């Protein structure tokens, strides 16, 4: 009995510890968003830096985004095709694939892969700047590290992910059409018509809206983890690893929240 209470206490204590650090982490992320907005969104906006980070984040992620989108379009269309054949409704394959791809899979898959890549890149870069005191050095020269380092990365991530998602949607549609045509003998142009016919502007918007939020989340987590890196080089490795876990979990939970918000609308 006392053994049971003892272990129950331990479980409660560790759950409490996890909750406390989890809330602290979320609080830190919110604080960073607040600081970056207050201190970043004023003249000079740092357009040059933002553009630089967009190009480097976007262009460096283009191959990955391309591969992921092609495969997710093919796999999903194939699965839906198999299921629909059972109902003798394989011609509906375009209708079935479009919503799932545009509203859900392209934004989420890209955020989980490309987004995680962006976030870890930011954590590693900012983390090593933190460890080598470069962030302190920026502050010591009278400049604001939040404005100089965080703001351009946040804006760039928030823009890059949706732009990549637009590209990803085109590819997923095209690769889906190839599968429909080659595997299921549904003409590609018919697939395209039904695919587009099923979509309302609100569907595009909810897909894009998700990408924007995911992009912001990716930037925030990547930067926050970098800034809170402890001293020592192995600390950079630790915080980068944590970034992967944090982005995946946050993106999927945020996806659930956004789906419950967006779905009743459309």
Partner 1 sequence: MAAVIELQGVGKSFGDHTVYQDMHLAVEEGETLTVIGGSGQGKSVCMKMMIGLLFADEGEVRFRGAEVSELDHEGLRALRQKVAMVFQGGALFDSMNIRDNVGYALIEHTSMADEAITARAWECLDMVGLGQDRGLLERMPVSLSGGMRKRVAIARSIALQPEIILYDEPTTGLDPSNIRRIGSMILKLQKELGVTSVVVTHDMPTAFRVSNRIAMLYERHFPFVDTPEGFKHTEVPEVRNFIQGRVRDGA
CB of 136 to partner 1, least distance (A): 5
Choose among 29, 33, 10: nearest CA to 21.
29
Binding partner 1 by CB under 8 A: which of 2, 3, 5, 140? 140
CB of 178 to partner 1, least distance (A): 42
Instruction: Tell me, by CB under 8 A, how many residues bind partner 1.
Output: 14
* Residue 141 near partner 1 by CB under 8 A: yes
Q: And the tokens for 54? A: 């967009």
Shorter beta-carbon distance to partner 1: residue 104 or 144 = 144
Binding partner 1 by CB under 8 A: which of 138, 205, 244, 254? 138
CA atoms within 13 A on the CB side of 190: 12
* Residue 254 near partner 1 by CB under 8 A: no
* Residue 21 near partner 1 by CB under 8 A: no
Binding partner 1 by CB under 8 A: which of 26, 83, 143, 182? 143
* Residue 41 near partner 1 by CB under 8 A: no
- How buried is residue 130: exposed, middle or buried, by Cβ count under 10 Å (0-12/13-18/19+)? buried
Shorter beta-carbon distance to partner 1: residue 132 or 253 = 132
Q: And the tokens for 209? A: 């809206």
Q: And the tokens for 182? A: 């080659």
Q: Which residues of the shown chain bind partner 1 in the complex (CB under 8 A)? A: 39, 129, 132-134, 136-144
């Amino acid at each position: 009995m006392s053994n049971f209470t003892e272990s129950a206490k331990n479980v409660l204590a560790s759950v409490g510890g996890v909750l406390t650090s989890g809330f602290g982490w979320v609080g830190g992320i919110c604080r960073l968003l607040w600081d970056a907005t207050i201190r970043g969104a004023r003249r000079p906006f740092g357009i040059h830096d933002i553009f630089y980070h967009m190009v480097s984040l976007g262009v460096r992620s283009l191959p990955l985004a391309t591969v992921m989108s092609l495969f997710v379009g093919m796999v999903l269309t194939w699965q839906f095709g198999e299921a629909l054949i059972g109902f003798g409704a394989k011609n509906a394959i375009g209708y079935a694939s479009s919503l799932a791809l545009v509203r859900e899979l392209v934004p989420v898959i890209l955020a989980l892969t490309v987004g995680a890549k962006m976030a870890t890149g930011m954590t590693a870069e900012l983390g090593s700047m933190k460890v080598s005191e470069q962030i302190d050095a920026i502050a010591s020269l009278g400049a604001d590290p939040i404005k100089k380092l965080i703001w351009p990365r946040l804006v760039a991530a928030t823009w890059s992910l949706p732009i990549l998602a637009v590209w990803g949607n085109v590819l997923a549609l095209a690769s889906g059409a190839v599968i429909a045509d080659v595997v299921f003998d549904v003409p590609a142009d018919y697939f395209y018509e039904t695919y587009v016919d099923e979509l309302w502007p609100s569907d595009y918007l909810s897909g894009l809206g998700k990408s924007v939020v995911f992009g912001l989340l990716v930037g925030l987590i990547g930067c926050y983890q970098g800034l809170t890196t402890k001293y020592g080089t192995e600390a950079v490795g630790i915080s980068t690893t944590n970034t992967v876990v944090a982005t995946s979990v946050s993106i999927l939970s945020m996806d659930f929240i956004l789906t419950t918000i967006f779905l009743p609308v459309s």
